[in-house]
Structure 1
Amino acid sequence: MALDLWIRFSMWLGWTAVVAAEATFFSWTENGVDDAMGYTVFLVIMLVTFALPNTFFAWFEYATSIMKLLALFIFILAGLCCSLYTGCLFHLALYPIGSDSPSAYSFLRYMIGTVRILGLENTHQVVFRTKLRDPKKVDSAKWSAIIE
């Protein structure tokens, strides 16, 4: 019973991410791409895809499953490093908008904050910085990206 609850939650979380990504993409292309052109490109891609032999689908499934496994291991390792705040080269943090001090350093709190942002609660900004150990040395980071 408890496993069933978490499976349903993970499916909901996955669909939330997909809907947010699609909404971002379509709002980005709102004024630049005509709907008819988008539908035409989609239909051509589907026609070409379904015209290919079955061996292509098998190869595609094999290649993407390897990429998924590699990404899974990388995300698990990065999540453990950031959760334990050990020697990883990057750091994830959530900053309340207008504040210089982060509200979340651990990976779990970062993920919860990201879900809140995807739920259209625009009170935080996501900051990804490399080699950041001290919150007072924010400007010493080599690379940073702020997504609002």
Structure 2
Amino acid sequence: MLDPDGVIKTWNAGAERIKGYSREEILGKHFSCFYTEEDRASGLPAQTLATARAEGRFEREGWRVRKDGSHFWAHVVVDAIRDEAGELVGFAKVIRDVTERRQTMEALERANAALFQSQKMESLGQLTGGSPTTSTICWP
């Protein structure tokens, strides 16, 4: 959970496992510490909160940073939490490490591209007369 300014107020074991910070290390810090330098420079953390505040939810995938500095591909959902009067009291943030899924999709895309290139070369070979199925017709 984040407060309305993006300061981390609660932390669970799943977050600790994914990001590497203990509860004591991370409570009270701003959630932008999980973003890459480039994303912080472009204002993505502020945009995340502004979108969740205005629309009720922010959802996106992107690179995030662990305590040890390593990067992982994350699916992030930030929901605005409001009290009975409709006042924003904070945000619920759920993050999933989907790096493995992304790597699998990239490998599939590379395999598809290689297959397409192979088929294209085979077709080109057939057009230029290199097809083993070409037969010669002899007239008597």
Q: Considering only CA atoms, is the larger Rg found in Structure 1 or Structure 2?
A: 2
TM-score w.r.t. the length of structure 1 is 0.24
> Which structure's residues are more often helix, by fraction?
1
Choose between structure 1 and 2 for higher RCO, CA contacts under 8 A separated by at least 6 residues. 2
> Which structure's residues are more often strand, by fraction?
2
